[in-house]
Amino acid sequence: MKRKIVVLGGGISGYGSAILAKKKGFDTFLSDMGKIAPKFRERLDEWGVEYEEGQHTEERILDANEVIKSPGIPDTAPIVQKIRERGIPVISEIEFAARYKGVAKTICITGSNGKTTTTSLIYKIMRDAGRKVSLGGNIGESFAYSVATEKHFWHVLELSSFQLDGCFKFKADIGVLMNITPDHLDRYDYKLENYARSKMRIAENQTAADAFIYSADDAITQQMLAEMDNGLRARQLPFAINTAIASGDGDAILEGHTFTATVGAKSVTVDTRKMQIEGMHNVYNAMAAALATLAAGIDPKQIKRSIYDFSPVEHRLEPAGVKDDIQWVNDSKATNVDSVWYALESMKRPTVWIAGGTDKGNDYTPVKEFARKKVKALICMGVDNAKLLREFQGIVPVIRDCHTFEEAMEAARAEATEGDTVLLSPACASFDLFRNYEERGRLFKEWVKSNVLDK
């Protein structure tokens, strides 16, 4: 009798998992409590995958031998609790797809901030070097779908803590941990240590043949490394700007405007002034990418060329246009306070800051000094702005309480004058007013184009 696989969630992670399960001969059923996007329905139909939307048929789901859960579904969801009560194993797409990747290797990037830029940069370097490589996990194509439909020798995966939570035997050949700062605490009982432990799973199953790349400047990462029960078996490749480090396996260190990344006998030196991505956070991202691709055997000259050629990622400090010497910057991907810290740190002009959305247990203390020095007006954009209004009263001279996107954008335009930057950097999830941060960023750019640039 065929083993029964149930996939919960019909988004990019779910449809890919279902197609891979179907291809591998499992009795496969996908269930989504919401609507499945037409493009994913088409692919499920094409592969003959049975699915339902708008409901969960418990009898069918609870008959599974194994459940693959999409990362957006919390463990507190009633259907997930019932599955666990039955003792049915619940895994992530990453865990499932890794079983069938064959000899292909993985470069996996996690962290509270910087992971999308770092993942995209690593993918670019690998692709520019002619490697057969896929981009997946939290961005790009579904890892499972790539495994099901194409033959890759490398998979570059951005992994969230939610995806790592569903990994048990999965191993990163090259693991990259950018940093650990408070984020998604609403999914971790509001305990930073629970969230930090999830991030550390990136290194858990690694062996001496693998590489672990991490920030030596990040205090929480250092603390978690010291607390690891079994120690770290992988080769350690730290990167740092503020800390004196030296690792026998290799490292990356910034001196002045240049950093040198070394792995074994190979090294690459990068002049950060020649990079198109600006700000100290992007120096960290480039150092991590250089170490990861050196560890993957890429030629140092190619690494340098690709880093210089790399342009900003969409929704991450992305220029949206300039009119009347007012810059508009889309940083919609900044869904936590630490991301906003990096954004405000990089601001060189008086800033009209648009923030707000669904608060995830934010502590705004780290950004208050930057807000005091750099922000001339705070535009609160959310259904409930009480916390933002309370936290920045007396710190920012002008605070506007706006409850719709249009109202917030009009307020930002009214407050901005020649020489200013209007920065969308919300510090919050988007779900009160938008489907996701991508929609929020796209609407911002469209509004700027229609109401500012084309006027």
Sorted by where each begins, the domain ranges of the chain are 4-91, 95-309, 318-453
Tens of pLDDT, residue by residue over 118-146, are 999 999 999 999 999 999 988 888 999 99
CA angle 355, 357, 358 (to 5 degrees): 140
Tens of pLDDT, residue by residue over 260-292, are 999 999 999 999 999 988 888 899 999 999 999
Q: Which residues contact 428 (CB under 8 A, 6 or more apart)?
A: 335, 355, 356, 357, 358, 359, 360, 362, 382
Are 4-91 and 318-453 in the same CATH fold?
no
CATH superfamily name and code, 4-91: NAD(P)-binding Rossmann-like Domain (3.40.50.720)
Q: Which residues are bridge partners to 31 per DSSP?
A: 8, 52
Local structure of 51: helix, strand or coil: strand
Structural contact between residues 173 and 156, judged by C-beta atoms closer than 8 angstroms: no
- The alpha carbon dihedral of 410, 415, 420, 425 has a sign of negative
Above 70 in pLDDT, residue 189?
Answer: no
The CATH fold of domain 95-309: UDP-N-acetylmuramoyl-L-alanine:D-glutamate ligase (3.40.1190)
Structural contact between residues 307 and 429, judged by C-beta atoms closer than 8 angstroms: no
pLDDT given at position 111: 86
Q: Which residues contact 65 (CB under 8 A, 6 or more apart)?
A: 3, 4, 5, 88
pLDDT given at position 76: 86
Strands 375-381 and 398-402: parallel
- Alpha-carbon span 441 to 289, nearest angstrom: 25
Q: What's at 289, amino acid-wise? A: A
Tens of pLDDT, residue by residue over 334-382, are 888 878 887 897 788 999 999 999 887 788 988 999 999 999 999 999 9
Model confidence at 387, pLDDT cuts 50, 70, 90, reads very high
CA angle 179, 193, 122 (to 5 degrees): 25
Mean pLDDT of 85-99: 95
Mean pLDDT of 220-226: 82
What value does the mean pLDDT of the chain take? Answer: 90
- Alpha-carbon span 413 to 272, nearest angstrom: 33
pTM (two decimals): 0.76
Model confidence at 317, pLDDT cuts 50, 70, 90, reads confident
Strands 326-330 and 318-323: antiparallel
* Token pair 């991508």: residue: 438
Above 70 in pLDDT, residue 156?
Answer: yes
CATH for the stretch 318-453: 3.90.190.20
